């Protein structure tokens, strides 16, 4: 049984005008707009949308202009399937790792692909494996943009496709882009014990940058706090409750709940779905009909919160391969995925029991759920007013918030493209896009102007705003839409800024994020939210827009000690 990451790199180019805003009062009760949602199927991705980054992202090297719904080809030379991605501090998207299968060009396992979005559609992916590459091969790694604006790349397998990790193929290390000379590892990969302890189901680990400048990492049934600056595991957290496994092929969704001045930027992580299937049994004995987990687990990452442990809630239906999307109003949309089975793509003859063609998952979870983290326990989940989709979004599906406040769903390829296969198989590769509009989309929207292209930490700036009449609760929220792939959502973040509305309600004075650990330097979308109705989110860059630190010595050492992977070929053969 193999999992194939088909190749892709679709970029959603957002032609986003730079900004305007408002914010914040000492709101005690939070306003949300209730009412009917709408769902439209509109446009296609042109490629299988396995990875999704707004202002960029994902599969087969294509860029989707979300405004015009046109697709243009990008030209990666290495296989991008199964890669991770993060924006770095200067606004460049860095995609690393990928698939060894050479369709055209090179193996993607050690690839580093740079893409700097542009508004004139002339930019393309830059690759130069003779100078820019990972120190070690990675299939199904994760990544995060860290507090110095660079990227940390964590885990994965040394080869691919691998249905489930094991000690032979595991890559229990992390590294940086650009490479760092740190803790005795001069540009090379650094061993991480947590990635040995979490075998076998530890691909695509869950990683969150925390406000105290450590990382939350979860894999399999375990979770930890890790400090890359000292290369130490600060604290092993309690296991995910009830034996639930949360990483590939038992892929759960996860989110860092909104950081706000009111909660003193206290981090709280939520992980939803996954599976209790054993990670030591032969994958061909898994069944596509085994129910996934319906569990959501939350933990507050303070001494008291960790002592209290995970709190457990139950979603309306179980989900595997779900994605959790932060909304500008502070709620979380739980979307996509299947109710049974596991993540992956079973090659002919290597399928799991009851597989649906190549799909080891069945029973798509068609109805999204809204989760309100601030509501009383027991009344946080709701699907009221939300129409179900009819499009299965399972393996290689993605979801993202858009700057306009809609939620875009794309992709799914449990089975190959029917137009190529000449069959009517259930769950074919999916090219249609869908957009969910929350009820706030049909309300009068706040608007703002005056956002500069770069907003530094602690800087004070004023936005001119137009509020719907009677608006009372006005806040300013910075969002990172992140990079979504395989139900893992790198770098997704919501940080509420301190702000003060003028008495005329025509301007709002906003203070940039307090520290680079609270919001890592790099791209952000700024929303003014009035009584639960967000403005359009205009793009800016937090920090200085500078490139992350470059250590030429570390790069030279890495290049000296590793070989150019672009000459590699793979014994694997799989034709799209
Ligand atoms: C580890 O995974 C690889 C790739 O799937 C497989 O070829 C190998 O047999 C596995 N090793 C063990 C000990 O299971
Ligand atoms: C944003 O959404 C509103 C409401 O649906 C719509 O009228 C407007 O055209 C959208 N704007 C963009 C840029 O998508
Ligand atoms: C699909 O298969 C059918 C039956 O074998 C054949 O008649 C038809 O021409 C095929 N269509 C395509 C597009 O290959
Ligand atoms: C951002 O930094 C990276 C790493 O140094 C560099 O390769 C890239 O060209 C930079 N992008 C821009 C737009 O300067
Ligand atoms: C690579 O390292 C070797 C020793 O390990 C050294 O002799 C050689 O000069 C280095 N080459 C470069 C290009 O740094």
pLDDT at 106: 67
Instruction: Kindly state the average pLDDT of the residues 5-20.
Output: 38
pLDDT at 24: 30
pLDDT at 1: 38
Q: What is the rounded CA–CA span in Å between residue 152 and residue 179? A: 9
pLDDT at 56: 39
- Quick one: 476 and 329 in the same domain? no
- Could you tell me the pLDDT band of residue 483, with boundaries at 50, 70 and 90? confident
Q: Identify the residue whose C-alpha is closest to ligand 5 atom 9.
A: 560
pLDDT at 103: 52
Q: Identify the residue whose C-alpha is closest to ligand 2 atom 2.
A: 404
Assigned domain for 22 exists: no
Instruction: Kindly state the average pLDDT of the residues 414-440.
Output: 76
- Could you tell me the pLDDT band of residue 398, with boundaries at 50, 70 and 90? confident
Assigned domain for 405 exists: yes
Q: Identify the residue whose C-alpha is closest to ligand 4 atom 5.
A: 547
Assigned domain for 21 exists: no
pLDDT at 477: 98
Share of the chain above pLDDT 70, in %: 84
Does the Cβ of 166 fall within 6 Å of ligand 1?
yes
Distance 282 CA to ligand 1 centre (A): 11
For the ranges 27-41, 468-482, 560-574, which has the lowest average pLDDT? Answer: 560-574
Given a cut of 80, whether residue 521 has pLDDT beyond it is yes
Assigned domain for 463 exists: yes
pLDDT at 80: 67
- Quick one: 287 and 354 in the same domain? yes
Distance 73 CA to ligand 2 centre (A): 26
Does the Cβ of 182 fall within 6 Å of ligand 2?
no
Complete DSSP assignment for 15-54: -------------SS-----S--EEEEEEE-SS---EEEB
pLDDT at 16: 37
Does the Cβ of 168 fall within 6 Å of ligand 1?
yes
For the ranges 300-309, 395-404, 513-522, 536-545, which has the lowest average pLDDT? Answer: 395-404
Q: What is the rounded CA–CA span in Å between residue 357 and residue 427? A: 8
- Quick one: 433 and 489 in the same domain? no
Instruction: Kindly state the average pLDDT of the residues 73-96.
Output: 82
pLDDT at 61: 57
In CATH, what number is assigned to the domain containing residue 258?
2.130.10.80
pLDDT at 570: 44
pLDDT at 371: 98
Distance 42 CA to ligand 2 centre (A): 14
pLDDT at 566: 62
pLDDT at 394: 85
pLDDT at 372: 97
Q: Which of 404, 406, 439 to mutate to test the pocket of ligand 2 (most atoms within 8 A of CB)?
A: 404
- Quick one: 408 and 454 in the same domain? no
Query: Are 358 and 418 within 8 A, CB to CB?
Result: no
Given a cut of 50, whether residue 561 has pLDDT beyond it is yes
Q: Which atom of ligand 4 is least distant from the CA of 92?
A: 11
pLDDT at 247: 97
Given a cut of 60, whether residue 29 has pLDDT beyond it is no
Tokens of 433: 């896009």
Assigned domain for 279 exists: yes
Does the Cβ of 15 fall within 6 Å of ligand 2?
no
Domain that residue 560 falls in: 3-11+33-442+549-565
Instruction: Kindly state the average pLDDT of the residues 498-520.
Output: 97
For the ranges 49-53, 173-177, 276-280, 524-528, which has the lowest average pLDDT? Answer: 49-53
Which H or E run contains 217?
A: strand 215-219
Q: What is the rounded CA–CA span in Å between residue 278 and residue 244? A: 10
Query: Are 22 and 463 within 8 A, CB to CB?
Result: yes
**Total number of domains in the chain:** 2
Given a cut of 90, whether residue 105 has pLDDT beyond it is no
Distance 557 CA to ligand 5 centre (A): 8
Distance 136 CA to ligand 5 centre (A): 18
Given a cut of 70, whether residue 539 has pLDDT beyond it is yes
- Quick one: 522 and 558 in the same domain? no
Q: Which atom of ligand 1 is least distant from the CA of 163?
A: 5
Q: What is the rounded CA–CA span in Å between residue 323 and residue 337? A: 7
Which residue, among 335, 385, 328, has the nearest Cα to 365 in the 3D structure? 335
Given a cut of 50, whether residue 191 has pLDDT beyond it is yes
In sign, the C-alpha dihedral spanning 374, 380, 381, 386 is negative
Given a cut of 90, whether residue 502 has pLDDT beyond it is yes
For the ranges 109-113, 178-182, 288-292, 379-383, which has the lowest average pLDDT? Answer: 109-113
Tokens of 48: 């299988």
In CATH, what number is assigned to the domain containing residue 452?
2.60.40.10
- Quick one: 368 and 304 in the same domain? yes
- Measured from CB, residues less than 6 Å from any atom of ligand 4 are 88, 90-92, 114, 116, 178, 547, 550
Query: Are 137 and 112 within 8 A, CB to CB?
Result: no
- Quick one: 508 and 554 in the same domain? no
Q: Which ligand is in closest contact with the Cα of 547?
A: 4
Does the Cβ of 281 fall within 6 Å of ligand 1?
no
Identify which of 83-87, 123-127, 517-521 has the greatest average pLDDT: 517-521
pLDDT at 419: 57
Distance 422 CA to ligand 3 centre (A): 6
pLDDT at 429: 78
Instruction: Kindly state the average pLDDT of the residues 242-252.
Output: 97
- Could you tell me the pLDDT band of residue 426, with boundaries at 50, 70 and 90? confident
- Quick one: 314 and 194 in the same domain? yes
Distance 90 CA to ligand 1 centre (A): 39
- pLDDT tens-digit profile of 197-230? 999 999 999 999 999 999 999 999 999 999 999 9
Q: How far is residue 2 from each of residues 56, 72, 164, 325, 345, measured CA to CA in Å?
A: 28, 30, 9, 28, 6
- Quick one: 555 and 526 in the same domain? no
What is the pLDDT of the chain when averaged over all its residues? 87
- pLDDT tens-digit profile of 287-339? 999 999 999 999 999 999 999 999 999 999 999 999 999 999 999 999 999 99
pLDDT at 189: 98
- Quick one: 229 and 272 in the same domain? yes
Given a cut of 70, whether residue 560 has pLDDT beyond it is yes
- Could you tell me the pLDDT band of residue 162, with boundaries at 50, 70 and 90? confident
Query: Are 351 and 360 within 8 A, CB to CB?
Result: yes
Assigned domain for 195 exists: yes
- Quick one: 429 and 474 in the same domain? no
Q: Which ligand is in closest contact with the Cα of 112?
A: 4
Assigned domain for 435 exists: yes
- Quick one: 320 and 289 in the same domain? yes
pLDDT at 349: 72
- Could you tell me the pLDDT band of residue 423, with boundaries at 50, 70 and 90? low
- Could you tell me the pLDDT band of residue 75, with boundaries at 50, 70 and 90? confident
Q: Which residues contact 227 (CB under 8 A, 6 or more apart)?
A: 213, 214, 215, 233, 234
Q: Identify the residue whose C-alpha is closest to ligand 4 atom 1.
A: 547
Q: Which atom of ligand 5 is least distant from the CA of 560?
A: 1
For the ranges 31-45, 134-148, 422-436, which has the lowest average pLDDT? Answer: 422-436
- Could you tell me the pLDDT band of residue 573, with boundaries at 50, 70 and 90? very low
Distance 547 CA to ligand 4 centre (A): 6
Q: Whole-prediction pTM value?
A: 0.90
Given a cut of 80, whether residue 101 has pLDDT beyond it is no
For the ranges 273-287, 305-319, 474-488, which has the lowest average pLDDT? Answer: 474-488
Give Cα 98 distance to the centre of its chain.
16
Assigned domain for 16 exists: no
Which residue, among 300, 211, 281, has the nearest Cα to 495 in the 3D structure? 211
Instruction: Kindly state the average pLDDT of the residues 463-486.
Output: 91
């Amino acid at each position: 049984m193999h999992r194939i990451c088909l190749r892709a790199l679709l970029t959603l180019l957002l032609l986003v005008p730079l900004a305007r805003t408002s914010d914040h009062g000492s709101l005690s009760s939070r306003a949300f707009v209730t009412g009917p949602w709408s769902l439209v199927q509109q446009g296609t991705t042109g490629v299988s949308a396995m990875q999704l980054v707004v202002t960029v992202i994902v599969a087969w090297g294509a860029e989707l202009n979300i405004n015009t719904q046109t697709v243009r080809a990008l030209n990666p030379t290495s296989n991008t399937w199964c890669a991770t991605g993060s924006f770095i501090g200067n606004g460049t998207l860095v995609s690393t790792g990928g698939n060894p299968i050479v369709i055209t060009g090179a193996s993607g396992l050690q690839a580093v692909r740079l893409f700097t979005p542009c508004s004139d559609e002339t930019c393309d992916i830059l690759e130069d494996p003779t100078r820019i590459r990972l120190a070690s091969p990675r299939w199904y790694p994760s990544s995060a943009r860290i507090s110095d604006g660079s990227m940390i790349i964590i885990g994965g397998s040394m080869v691919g496709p691998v249905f489930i990790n094991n000690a032979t193929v595991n890559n229990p290390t992390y590294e940086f882009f650009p490479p760092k000379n740190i803790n005795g590892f001069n540009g090379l990969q650094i061993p991480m014990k947590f990635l040995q302890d979490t075998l076998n189901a530890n691909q695509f680990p869950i990683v969150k940058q925390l406000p105290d400048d450590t990382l939350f990492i979860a894999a399999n049934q375990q979770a930890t706090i890790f400090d890359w600056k000292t290369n130490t595991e600060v604290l092993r957290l309690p296991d995910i409750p009830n034996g639930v496994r949360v990483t590939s092929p038992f892929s759960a969704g996860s989110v860092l709940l909104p950081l706000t001045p009111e909660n003193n930027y206290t981090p709280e992580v939520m992980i939803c779905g996954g599976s209790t299937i054993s990670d030591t049994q032969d994958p061909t004995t898994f069944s596509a009909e085994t129910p996934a987990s319906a569990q959501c687990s939350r933990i507050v990452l303070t001494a008291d919160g960790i002592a209290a442990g995970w709190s457990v809630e139950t979603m309306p239906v179980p989900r595997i391969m779900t994605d959790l999307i932060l909304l500008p109003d502070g709620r979380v949309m739980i979307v996509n995925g299947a109710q049974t089975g596991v993540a992956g793509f079973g090659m002919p003859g290597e399928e799991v029991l009851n597989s649906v063609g190549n799909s080891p998952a069945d029973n798509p979870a068609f109805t999204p759920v809204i989760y309100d983290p601030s509501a009383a326990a027991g009344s946080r989940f709701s699907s009221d007013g939300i129409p179900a989709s009819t499009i299965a979004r399972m393996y290689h599906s993605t979801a993202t918030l858009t700057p306009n406040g809609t939620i875009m769903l794309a992709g799914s390829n449990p089975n190959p493209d029917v137009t190529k296969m000449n069959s009517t198989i259930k769950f074919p590769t999916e090219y249609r896009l869908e957009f969910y509009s929350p009820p706030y989309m049909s309300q009068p929207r706040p608007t703002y102007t005056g956002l500069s292209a770069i907003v530094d930490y602690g800087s004070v700036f004023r936005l001119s705003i137009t509020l719907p009449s009677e608006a009372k609760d006005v806040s300013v929220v910075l969002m990172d839409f992140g990079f979504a792939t395989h139900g893992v959502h790198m770098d997704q973040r919501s940080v509420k800024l301190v702000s003060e509305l003028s008495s005329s309600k025509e301007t709002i004075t906003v203070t940039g994020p307090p520290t680079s650990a609270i919001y890592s330097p790099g791209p952000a979308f700024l929303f003014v939210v009035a009584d639960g109705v967000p403005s359009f989110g205009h793009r800016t860059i937090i920090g200085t827009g500078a490139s992350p630190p470059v250590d030429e010595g570390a790069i030279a050492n890495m290049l000296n000690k590793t070989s150019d992977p672009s000459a590699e070929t793979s014994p694997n053969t799989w034709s799209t």
